[in-house]
A = this chain, B = another copy of it.
Amino acid sequence: MKHEKPLILLTNDDGVDAKGLKELVACLRDLGDIVVFAPDGPRSGMACAITSILPIRYQKVSEEPGLTVYSCTGTPVDCIKLSINEVLDRKPDLLVSGINHGGNYAICVQYSGTMGAAAEGCVFDVPSLGVSLLDHHHDADFEESGRLARLVARRILKEGLPHGIYLNLNVPNMRDVKGIKVCRQADGKWTNEYKRSENATGDPVFWLSGAFVEKKPIQTDNDTLALDSGYASLVPCKIDVTDYEFMNHLNTWV
């Protein structure tokens, strides 16, 4: 059976009801047959986590021509694995994860469930894109980020992506973004990461918090700098994390 339209798989880490995901559906709907397969609630910070000790489940939430929506009890990566292995009747032509409520620039890429799902799509050789808006609010305005996500998604559908590479698009929280800049991932880390408070019995508990600090010197072509300058950032990411240069030195150790 020939399929006229591309199959586009959408997911996120904010849950199937998130506004950012609905914006993606609206922006990409005319580009193909859309299947949403997303967590049944928030899974922020789940990175590439997989559920292995317990089983997972999914259910169909809604179905109309060109758009089927499923929710799943697992992580964003579980959603990609389960949908491709067990639910979809063909391999997707494109995976878009997001639009995340909050930025996933710099090393956020390693903690983000949104980007974990994009990485997992890439493992399956599905051209994959993660999209994030630098606004954490549930009612954030996703219009501009949706427009840019559509631009990149169309290009991916036309050209594909090389094996082992997926894309990370971050969009600043403003009406008129200046454009998209291709960037490297900024180098930095969080500091003062915890807010200490007490539970009901007076024991100390720790809430993740903190501020991002860029490592000096700042590279001129990194994603945080582009975002600070009013541009959206587009970073090509690799599945292979081998540091090939350091292999030579390490060979003197063994």
Contact = CB atoms under 8 A, between A and B. Distances in A.
Interface stretch (A1-9, A17-25, A27-35, A41-49): A41-49
Contact of A107 (B123, B199, B235): B123
Interface string A57-85: 11000000000000000000110011001
A52 B56 contact: no
Given A193-B85, A242-B236, A208 B247 contact: no
Contact of A50 (B45, B78, B155, B243): B45
Given A111-B77, A237-B243, A52 B45 contact: yes
A81 B194 CA distance: 9
Contacts of A165: 243, 246
A202 to B, nearest CB: 12
Interface stretch (A91-99, A137-145, A182-190): A182-190
Given A45-B49, A155-B253, 17 more contacts: A42-B53, A44-B53, A47-B116, A48-B111, A51-B208, A52-B208, A55-B206, A55-B207, A57-B199, A85-B192, A85-B193, A110-B241, A182-B251, A183-B247, A184-B240, A184-B244, A236-B250
Interface of A: 42, 44-53, 55-58, 77-78, 81-82, 85-86, 107, 109-111, 116, 119, 123-124, 152, 155, 159, 162, 164-165, 167, 179-185, 187, 189, 192-194, 196-197, 199, 203-208, 234-244, 246-247, 250-251, 253-254
